[in-house]
Structure 1
Amino acid sequence: MHALCMMVVVYRGTLVHCVQSERIEVLRDHLIGFNEQQNGEIVFVEPACKADELAQEHGFSSDSVTVLTESQFLLPGLVDSHTHPDHYLIAGTGYDKQLLEWVNDYIVPLEAKFKDVQLAKDVYRKAVRRSLLHGTTTASYFATIHLESTKELCRIVDCFGQRALIGKINIDVLSPDYTEEIQASIDDTRKFIKFVQEMQNPLIQAVLLPAALFACSPKLLKMLSQIAKEHSLHIHSHICEQKASIQQSLELHPEYNACSTAFNSYGLLTAKTYMAHCVYLEESDMQLFKQKGVGVVHCPNSNLCLRSGLLDARKMLDMGLKIGLGTDVSGGYSLSVLDALRKSIDVSKALSFSKQDDYRPITHHEALYMATLGGAKVLSLDNKIGNFVVGKEFDALLIDVSPPEATFDTFQWDSFDDIVMKFLYLGDDRNILKRFVAGKELLTD
Structure 2
Amino acid sequence: MLKVYRGELLHFLADPAKVELEDSYQYIEDGLLIIKNGLIEQVGEASELLPTLDSNIDVVHYENGLIMPGFIDTHVHYPQTEMIASYGEQLLEWLENYTFPFERKFSDLEHGKKVAEFFLTQLLDAGTTTALVFGTVHKESVDAFFSVAQQKKLRMICGKVLMDQNCPDYLSDTAQSGYDDSKALIEKWHKKDRLQYAITPRFAPTCSSEQLNKAGQLLAENPSVYLHTHLSENKDEIAWVNELFPDSDGYLDVYDKSKLLGRRSVFAHGVHLHDSECQRLGETDSAIAFCPSSNLFLGSGLFNLQQAQKFDVNVGYGTDIGAGTTFSMLSTLNEGYKTQQLRSEKLSPFQSFYLATLGGAIALDLEGTIGNFSKGAEADFIVLDYHATPLMDRRMQHCTHLSEKLFILSMLGDERHVKATHIMGERI
Q: CA deviation at 1:413?
A: 4.5
Structure 1 residues 165-208: Cα deviation after superposition (integer angstroms, max 9, x where no partner): 011110101224221122222221112112204x821x110111
Per the normalisation by structure 1, the TM-score is 0.89
SS at match of 2:341: helix
Task: Tell whether 2:66 aligns with 1:81.
Answer: no
| Distance of 2:214 and 2:261 partners within structure 1 | 14
Distance, in Å, in 1 between the alignment partners of 2:81 and 2:387 is 30
Structure 1 distance, partners of 2:83, 2:160, is 20
Give the Å deviation of 1:424. 2.2
* Secondary structure of the structure 2 residue equivalent to 1:408: helix
CA contact (8 A) 1:235 1:272 kept: yes
Of 375-384 and 310-319, more deviation after overlay is shown by 310-319
Aligned mates of 2:80, 2:246 — CA distance in 1: 31
Matched to 1:296, the amino acid is I
2 CA distance for matches of 1:261 and 1:334?
Answer: 32
Instruction: Give the drift of 1:252.
Output: 2.0
Q: What does 1:11-410 align with in structure 2 at a 5 Å threshold?
A: 11-22=5-16, 23=21, 25-35=26-36, 37=37, 40-51=38-49, 54-55=52-53, 60-61=54-55, 64-69=58-63, 71-94=64-87, 96-177=88-169, 178-197=171-190, 200-201=192-193, 203-232=194-223, 233-352=225-344, 360-403=345-388, 408-410=392-394
> CA 1:81–1:121 in structure 2 vs 1: closer, same or farther (change >3 Å)?
same
Task: Check if 1:420 corresponds to 2:412.
Answer: no
C-alpha distance in structure 2 between counterparts of 1:367 and 1:165, whole Å: 22
Summarize the Cα distance change of 1:348–1:116 in structure 2 as closer, same or farther, 3 Å threshold. Answer: same
Return the offset for 1:77. Answer: 0.2
1:92 CA displacement? 1.2
Provide closer, same or farther for how the CA distance between residues 344 and 52 of structure 1 changes in structure 2, counting only shifts above 3 A. Answer: closer
RMSD of aligned Cα (Å): 1.8
> How far did 1:304 drift?
1.0
Aligned letter for 1:80? Answer: D
Aligned-pair CA distance for 1:136: 0.6
Q: 1:87 and 1:372 mapped to 2: Cα distance? A: 24
Q: Which residue of 2 aligns with 1:356?
A: none
- Cα distance change on mapping 1:318 and 1:182 into 2, 3 Å: closer
Distance 1:441 1:174 in 2: 45
Residue aligning to 1:437: 423
- Counterpart Cα distance in 2 of 1:110 and 1:66: 43
Alignment check: 8 A CA contact 1:314 1:348 kept: no
> 5+ unaligned residues in a row in structure 2: which ranges?
none
Counterparts of 1:402 and 1:176 in 2: how far apart (Å)? 48
Q: CA deviation at 1:416?
A: 5.2
Q: How much has 1:93 moved relative to structure 2?
A: 1.5
**What is the CA distance between 1:254 and its match in structure 2?**
1.6
1:90 Cα shift? Answer: 0.6
- Single out whichever of 363-372 and 413-422 deviates more from structure 2: 413-422
The Cα shift of 1:433 comes to 2.3
Q: What is the number of residues matched between the two proteins?
A: 417
Distance between the aligned counterparts of 1:409 and 1:12, measured in 2?
21
1:398 is paired with a residue whose SS is strand
Task: Classify the secondary structure of the residue corresponding to 1:308.
Answer: coil
Q: Contact 1:137 / 1:437 at 8 angstroms: preserved in 2?
A: yes
Q: CA deviation at 1:120?
A: 2.1
**Alpha carbons 1:9, 1:34 under 8 Å: kept:** yes
Q: 1:348·1:361 contact (CA, 8 Å) conserved in 2?
A: yes
Report the residue type matching 1:41 in the other structure.
L
Q: Which stretch has the larger CA shift, 184-193 or 280-289?
A: 184-193
Q: Residue 369 of structure 2: SS of its match in structure 1?
A: coil
Cα distance, 1:407–1:131 mapped onto 2, change above 3 Å = farther
Which string of whole-angstrom CA distances, capped at 9 and with x for unpartnered residues, describes residues 73-119 of structure 1? 2011001100001101110113x111111111211222122223332
For residues 318 and 390 of structure 2, what CA distance do their matches in structure 1 show? 25
Unpaired stretches in structure 1, ≥5 consecutive residues: 1-6, 353-359
Distance (Å, rounded) in 2 between the aligned partners of 1:262 and 1:208: 16
Q: Deviations over 1:24-73 (max 9, x none)?
A: 542111222111x2xx2212112223225632xxxx3375222232x122
How big is the shift at 1:130?
0.8
Q: CA deviation at 1:383?
A: 2.0
Q: What is the distance in 2 between the residues matched to 1:128 and 1:41? A: 22
Q: Say if 1:42 and 1:255 are closer, same or farther in 2 by CA, change over 3 A.
A: same
Structure 1 residues 182 and 423: alpha-carbon distance in aligned structure 2, compared to 1, 3 A threshold: same
Displacement, 1:426?
1.3
Are 1:161 and 1:437, in contact at CA under 8 Å, matched by a contact in 2? Answer: yes
User: After the TM superposition, which of the residue ranges 182-191 and 363-372 deviates more from structure 2?
Assistant: 182-191
